[in-house]
Amino acid sequence: MKWLDISMPMHKTMQVYKNRDANRFRLTADRTHAQDHICENRMEINLHTGTHLDAPLHVIDGGNTISTFPLDLSQLPCQVLDLSGLRGSIKVKDLDLKAIRPGGAVLLKTDNSLTDAFDPDYVFLSIEGAAALADTGVRLVGTDALGIERGQPGHPTHRALMTRGVWILEGLRLAHTVAGTGWTLHVLPLNIVGAEASPVRAVLSRDDE
C-alpha cells in the first residue's frame, strides 16, 4: 500500500490566504519542561488556514455545519486531475468529465502546489467548472489553493458545489501526486459544533503497482 500525505505542514511562516495576519498559525507554550516539567501548547488558528474542509455554512446562511460531515465521505475513491501549466480559472474544457465516477472525490492539481508562498493570482475553479463537476455526481472536490474561487462576489463557485451536496477541500499539496484514478482519499474534520470549517489531515492511498 502506498500512502501520501497531501496536507500543508502547520507552522508560523506557512502561507495564509491573502497574507492576512489574522490567519497566521500561532503555537504558544502554556507550560514548559524547564518551568513545569511538562510540555503544553496553545494553538491559535483560523479555520480556513492550511488544509481544511469547508461546510455549507461558510457561504450559505443557515447551512450545515462541519459537525454534519458524513462519515462515509471520510474515505472515498479519488481521481487526481493534472491541470499543471493552466493559468486563471479551470473551465469545463479543462476537466476530464468523462473519466469522473459518481460518488467519489476529485482533486485539482495545479501549479498552486509548486509554491509555499501565497500567490494572489492562484488558479481557481470557474462557476461553470464547479457546476459541471457537481453534475457528475462527485461528492467532494479538492483544490491546491487556499480558496476554490478567487474573489467572485457572492461566492458562486462554492455555491454551485455546496447547493448540490458537494463538500469542498482546500489547501492541498499535490506536487508529488501522480494524476489519475486508483487513489483513495482519507479525510476527517474535527467535530467542532457550530463551525463552518475545520482543519484536516488529508491523505491519499493506493495499492502498490
- Catalytically annotated residues: 58
Shortest CA distance to 88 belongs to which of 156, 18, 135, 145? 145
Q: Quick check: helix, strand or coil at residue 7?
A: coil
The arrangement of strands across the sheet holding 140-143 comes to: 2-5, 203-206, 180-186, 75-82, 105-109, 140-143, 167-170, 52-54, 197-199
Three-state DSSP state, 145: coil
The grid coordinates of residue 13 equal: 511562516
3-state secondary structure of 11: coil
Residue 173 and residue 162: Cα distance in Å, rounded? Answer: 22
The DSSP symbol for 47 reads T
Q: Give the DSSP per-residue string, 147-204.
A: -SSSS-TT-HHHHHHHTTT-EEEE----TTPPPEEEEEEE--B---TT-SEEEB--EE
